[in-house]
């Protein structure tokens, strides 16, 4: 996707997507999830089901949960980044986002790495990404809906 540009969105149509929603071997991604709590695990289930490789890192040891899901769990951020994921999903709490982001060894990642946040706010992570990520990294700020389902 190239260098990011503030204020410009990029959409690339997914290549290699099969009718079942899974991807062919040439389109598989290596996706790291940083923050493997409830939402990180929720995302991992879907991503694994679609045939991508999922790596996880969290301050809590979720190695047993990850293994059962087919996810490679790392207790050290350096080791996770040495795997060179194409995408890093930042699934941390709002309170720990900046600390976690600053602690990641960016020099161990490829310059074209895509960082995705899934926080419930947008300006805060966007500003953090622009402040702390190397300029060659791509950024995608999302606003997922997650939580209890209630009857209206």
* Confidence label for 122 from pLDDT (cuts 50, 70 and 90): confident
Cβ atoms 56, 85 nearer than 8 A:
no
Sign of CA dihedral 123, 113, 48, 21: positive
* Confidence label for 13 from pLDDT (cuts 50, 70 and 90): very low
Q: In what order do the strands lie in the sheet with 87-90?
A: 72-74, 53-57, 30-34, 87-90, 114-117, 138-141
What does the block give as tokens for 76? Answer: 């050290």
Distance CA 106, CA 108 (A): 5
Distance CA 55, CA 33 (A): 6
Chain mean pLDDT for the chain: 86
Instruction: Output Rg (C-alpha) for the chain, integer angstroms.
Output: 15
Residue with tokens 């709490």: 93
Instruction: Select from 116, 36, 22 the least CA-distant residue to 69.
Output: 36
Give the pLDDT mean for 88-114: 95
Q: DSSP secondary-structure letter at 108?
A: G
Instruction: Select from 107, 118, 91, 93 the least CA-distant residue to 36.
Output: 91
17 forms beta bridges with 23
Residue 60, pLDDT score: 95
30 forms beta bridges with 53
Give the pLDDT mean for 86-90: 97
* Confidence label for 150 from pLDDT (cuts 50, 70 and 90): low
Taking the complete model, does pTM exceed 0.85, yes or no?
Answer: no
Cβ atoms 85, 110 nearer than 8 A:
no
């Amino acid at each position: 996707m190239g260098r990011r540009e503030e204020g410009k969105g990029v959409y690339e149509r997914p290549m290699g997507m099969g009718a079942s929603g899974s991807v062919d071997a040439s389109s598989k991604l290596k996706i790291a999830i940083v923050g493997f709590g409830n939402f990180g695990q929720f995302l991992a289930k879907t991503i694994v089901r679609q045939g991508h490789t999922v790596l996880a890192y969290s301050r809590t040891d979720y190695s047993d949960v990850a293994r059962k899901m087919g996810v490679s769990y790392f207790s050290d951020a350096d080791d996770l980044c040495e795997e060179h994921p194409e995408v890093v999903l930042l699934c941390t709490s709002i309170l720990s986002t900046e600390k976690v982001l600053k602690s990641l060894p960016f020099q161990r990642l490829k310059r074209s790495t895509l960082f995705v946040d899934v926080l419930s706010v947008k300006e805060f992570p966007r500003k953090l990404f622009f402040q702390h990520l190397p300029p060659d990294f791509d950024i995608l700020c999302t606003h997922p809906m997650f939580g209890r389902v209630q009857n209206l």
